Amino acid sequence: TQLLEQSPQFLSIQEGENLTVYCNSSSVFSSLQWYRQEPGEGPVLLVTVVTGGEVKKLKRLTFQFGDARKDSSLHITAAQPGDTGLYLCAGAMGRGADGLTFGKGTHLIIQP
């Protein structure tokens, strides 16, 4: 059973369009983190959300944590080819030393 359901798994859109990636769970998380992974490299943190209902913005990226801390979304406005990559949501439960529970990732392609 996948603890964190991430969708869509694949998304290919035109430059300038908007998109949303979802991360859902039936479990409550202490924090929800979004990472981006380039080919041949390790994941790099984009943002951490901690408080239920929290919204964080990173330029054209908007991250939201659900009120119940069970789900999160990543919204990209006016996508650009440079946004192409693998986006991963990851939840932390209880002790941070338990490691992160990752979603299966969203492969995003932005076509010029």
Partner 1 sequence: DTAVSQTPKYLVTQMGNDKSIKCEQNLGHDTMYWYKQDSKKFLKIMFSYNNKELIINETVPNRFSPKSPDKAHLNLHINSLELGDSAVYFCASSQVAAPTDTQYFGPGTRLTVL
Residue ranges in contact with partner 1 by CB under 8 A? 29-31, 33, 37, 40-45, 48, 50, 86, 88, 90, 92-102, 104-105, 107
Smallest distance from partner 1 to CB 109, Å: 14
Closest contact distance (angstroms) between CB of 77 and partner 1 is 25
* One-letter amino acid of 96: G
The DSSP string of 60-107 is TEEEEE-TTSSEEEEEESS--GGG-EEEEEEEE-S-GGG-PEE---EE
**Shortest Å, Cβ 16 to partner 1:** 27
Name the one residue in this structure whose structure tokens are 């119940």.
68
Find residue 57's DSSP bridge partners: 62
Nearer to partner 1 by Cβ, of 62 and 101: the residue is: 101
Question: Which CB, 40 or 112, lies closer to partner 1?
Answer: 40
- Taking the complex as a whole, the smallest distance from the CB of residue 100 to partner 1 amounts, in Å, to 6
Which of 18/27 has CB closer to partner 1? 27
Instruction: List residues bridging with 93 in a β-sheet.
Output: none
How many helices (H) does the chain have, and how many strands (E)? 0, 11
Nearer to partner 1, 34 or 110 (CB): 34
